[in-house]
Amino acid sequence: MILSICAVIAVRNEASYLRILLPLLAKQEIDVVIIDNGSTDNSHDLYTFFSENPIILVEYLPYEGVYSQRKQLEAKQEVYRNIEHDWVIHHDADEILEHYKEGYSLRDAIEEADAAGYNVLNFDELVFLPEPNKDYRNKNYYQDIHRYYFFEPSKQRLHRAWKRMFKFDNMDSGGHTITSEKISVYPENHVLRHYVVLGYEHAKEKYLHRTFNDQEIKGGWHHNRLDFTEDNLRLPYKSSFLFELSPHLLKKICRDTPTSIHYWKWEKQSSKKASLRSYTPKTIICVVGMHRSGTSVIARSLQVLDVELGNSLMPPDPNNNPTGYWEDLEINELNIKMLNYLESDWHSLSQIEQESVDELCKQGYFLQAVDILQKKAKGAPIFGFKDPRTAKLLPFWKKVFAHCQFNAHYIIAVRHPLSVCMSLQKRDDFEFEKSYYLWLENIISSFSHTEGERRIAVNYDLLIDFPDAEIKRIAKEVKLSAKQHELMLFKQKILSKKLRHTQYQLTDLAYTQTAPQIVQKVWPTVFDVTKGHQDIDSAMVKNNVNEWREELRQQKALLKYIDSLERKNTLSPEQDVLLKRKLSQQDASIREITSSKAWQMALLFRHIRTLLLPANSRREKIVITAYSRLLNSLKLIKTRNN
């Protein structure tokens, strides 16, 4: 028989939490009763949307101007008495309760305890904190926030699920623990994820103006949530208590360093165990952009700003990049490996989906990337890197930056699509029709995946023509200063108009027959952004990017089909080795034949014939005619004899 389980949740303006929490409970077939304490946000719309599944009842508790936990608990007790479920859960909107084992659910935890004869579950509280300057309201905080601290002011303090028939009461403890002779707590502590705030602005909105019930304060309640200020609500970059969950090992939790106070009181704590470490996040500059769009020269320009590019750079190529690629070999190799694993390539037309990013993390590439970047950034105040493949894998790399707590800046390299097409035709023999879509996919990926981040778009042609102005723009964005001597060397040794083989005007696309209509729409906006005529973070540009992305997404099936056809017509590494082996064997056979005595004699006779009978000479014609007559005579004699 399936256990009936009901979570009872008291809320006031918690829509940002409920839109994530309710589907998780519905998936586990856990019913929900809502006690609404005077919400003024759009929570009521969610009640209607999730009516019957999982919400079976909404009760309304009038708000009287102060936060009263006792009144909420009394309302919950009334619900516990009136419902008929086997188990009940005392749940808050900003919490997600889970089984302590990977792959098991909250329902599994309750069913295991029930089957083993226990009637109460205890939970360990992990408080999850967003990164500073991030806001996860109306986003999937459950999936994206991985920083946490283990909050444990006392042991066995969160009895959050129990068997209803025992009529347990958690009123006296403020909703934390149950005191009863009948209590039988399951021996393993499960996990309570507490998303106490979803960002700094949310923290101020949630706590700065909250007034608590005076009697509850006198009774010792709410002591952790008094004396809030704008300063102590700021989210820390790092602390001795903060740990990071791997995105795909979400139950691998560290309980070694518990804290008895919340983050907003850490700075006031005099004890060394709770002291906040002084920490300045590392800055990392990521250059993204389409191949042949100037990513190399833009990466090299970062050295003018004293940005470290590492000491493992790809060597120059006299035919394609004579002044250097300025590309880290380890990052380049990792990107190639990841694309190969996904059966993709830098010139694949289809975009990398989120499921593919998750798969890369599961396969260990995430930890490899973290190790590479941490190692390279360790000895550098500011580290920068480029690889045109990064634009295709940007969702993956953003996860890595967040995990490493890097202060990331993005430079988007752009170039006229006709110039890119011409360059790819010369270097890779690509048709223009393919190159246009490669350019388009890269631009859309670079713009959409850096939305909300610190970023700047740089036009390769403008950098060549006006290097001082463009480097000044870059320096302003990343908050650095140019070294004048380095700038002079950069202009003398790296920048050269001779290396720019094509330059087109803004309107030249209109005169081509191969440029897709969408490319003709995208380029003017991108060009205006690089010229400063439009703000890259303006609502108009964001709306345009969303429209382009949707238009490209509508061609997703076709682009994937084209990629699959290319893969079928491309030799695998094994096939390439086999073909080279066969060609080598054929070459060896030819060399053997041409070095034999018979071949040498044949060449000698051919040489003598050429000397005696020069081609098209009168002598050759006489011999050929005589030879032909001789053959005819022999045929006639043979016929007569028969």
| Least confident residue range of 308-322, 584-598, 625-639 | 584-598
**CA distance linking residue 286 with residue 434, whole number of Å:** 26
Structure tokens at 315: 């060597």
Beta pairing, strands 159-163 & 120-129: antiparallel
Instruction: Identify the band that residue 279 occupies on the pLDDT scale cut at 50, 70 and 90.
Output: very low
Distances in whole angstroms, Cα of residue 4 to Cα of each of 53, 170, 532: 14, 21, 61
Q: What is the pLDDT of residue 406?
A: 87
With residue 42 as reference, give the H or E element that holds it: none
**CA distance linking residue 621 with residue 266, whole number of Å:** 107
Burial of 426 (0-12, 13-18, 19+ CB in 10 A): middle
Q: What is the pLDDT of residue 122?
A: 95
> Could you tell me how far CA 92 lies from the centroid of its own chain?
30
Q: Are 518 and 413 in contact (CB under 8 A)?
A: no
Residue 54 identity: P
Contacts 24+ apart (CB under 8 A), 244-247: 244/146, 244/147, 244/148, 244/403, 245/146, 245/148, 246/146, 246/361, 246/366, 246/367, 247/146, 247/358, 247/361, 247/366, 247/399, 247/403
Q: At residue 15, does pLDDT exceed 90? A: yes
Q: Where is pLDDT greater, at 350 or 610?
A: 350
Write out pLDDT tens, residues 216-249. 777 667 666 777 888 889 999 888 888 888 654 5
Distances in whole angstroms, Cα of residue 145 to Cα of each of 140, 283, 327: 8, 20, 31
Q: At residue 506, does pLDDT exceed 60? A: yes
Q: What is the pLDDT of residue 214?
A: 82
What's the mean pLDDT when you consider all of the chain?
87
Q: Are 335 and 502 in contact (CB under 8 A)?
A: no
Q: Are 47 and 32 in contact (CB under 8 A)?
A: no
Q: What is the pLDDT of residue 276?
A: 41
Going by C-beta distance under 8 Å and a sequence separation of 6 or more, which residues neighbour residue 424? 291, 292, 430, 435, 438
Going by C-beta distance under 8 Å and a sequence separation of 6 or more, which residues neighbour residue 615? none
Q: Are 147 and 131 in contact (CB under 8 A)?
A: yes
Q: At residue 419, does pLDDT exceed 90? A: yes
Structure tokens at 132: 């500073």
3-state secondary structure of 9: strand
Q: At residue 617, does pLDDT exceed 90? A: no
Residue 273 identity: K
Whole-prediction pTM value? 0.53
The average pLDDT across 62-72 equals: 91
Q: Where is pLDDT greater, at 159 or 321?
A: 159
Q: At residue 274, does pLDDT exceed 80? A: no
**CA distance linking residue 4 with residue 501, whole number of Å:** 72
The average pLDDT across 290-301 equals: 93
**CA distance linking residue 563 with residue 469, whole number of Å:** 40
The average pLDDT across 166-191 equals: 87
| Least confident residue range of 36-50, 55-69, 394-408 | 394-408
Write out pLDDT tens, residues 427-483. 989 999 999 999 999 999 999 999 888 999 999 999 999 999 999 999 999 889 999
Q: How many CB atoms lie under 10 A from the CB of residue 540?
A: 11
Q: At residue 578, does pLDDT exceed 80? A: no
Q: What is the pLDDT of residue 591?
A: 67
Write out pLDDT tens, residues 104-121. 999 999 999 999 999 999
Instruction: Identify the band that residue 174 occupies on the pLDDT scale cut at 50, 70 and 90.
Output: confident
Task: Annotate 137-162 with b (16+ C-beta within 10 A) or e (fewer).
Answer: eebebbeebbbbbbbbeeeeebbbbb
Instruction: Identify the band that residue 418 occupies on the pLDDT scale cut at 50, 70 and 90.
Output: very high
Q: What is the pLDDT of residue 572?
A: 55
> Could you tell me how far CA 579 lies from the centroid of its own chain?
38
Q: Are 517 and 551 in contact (CB under 8 A)?
A: no
Q: What is the pLDDT of residue 494?
A: 85
The DSSP output letter for 316 is: P
The DSSP output letter for 600 is: H
387 — phi, psi (to 5°)? Answer: -160, 120
Three-class DSSP labels, 391-406: HHCHHHHHHHHHHHCC
Q: Where is pLDDT greater, at 237 or 250?
A: 237
Structure tokens at 37: 């304490």
- Where residue 349 falls (left for φ over 0; alpha for ψ -120 to 50; beta otherwise) is alpha
- Is the alpha carbon torsion for 432, 433, 436, 441 positive or negative? negative
Q: At residue 262, does pLDDT exceed 80? A: yes
- The HSE-up count of residue 551 (CA atoms within 13 Å, CB side) is 16
Q: Where is pLDDT greater, at 616 or 85?
A: 85
- Is the alpha carbon torsion for 376, 377, 379, 382 positive or negative? positive
400 — phi, psi (to 5°)? Answer: -65, -45
Q: What is the pLDDT of residue 518?
A: 92
* pLDDT > 90 in the chain, percent: 51
Three-class DSSP labels, 265-312: HCCCCCCHHHCCCCCCCCEEEEEEECCCCCHHHHHHHHHHHCCECCCC
Q: At residue 574, does pLDDT exceed 60? A: no
Instruction: Identify the band that residue 566 occupies on the pLDDT scale cut at 50, 70 and 90.
Output: confident
Q: What is the pLDDT of residue 465?
A: 92
| Least confident residue range of 147-151, 229-233, 386-390, 571-575 | 571-575
Q: At residue 153, does pLDDT exceed 60? A: yes
Q: At residue 138, does pLDDT exceed 60? A: yes
* pLDDT > 70 in the chain, percent: 92
Counts for the chain of helices (H) and strands (E), in that order = 24, 14
Which segment, 15-19, 181-185, 558-562, is predicted with the most confidence on average? Answer: 15-19
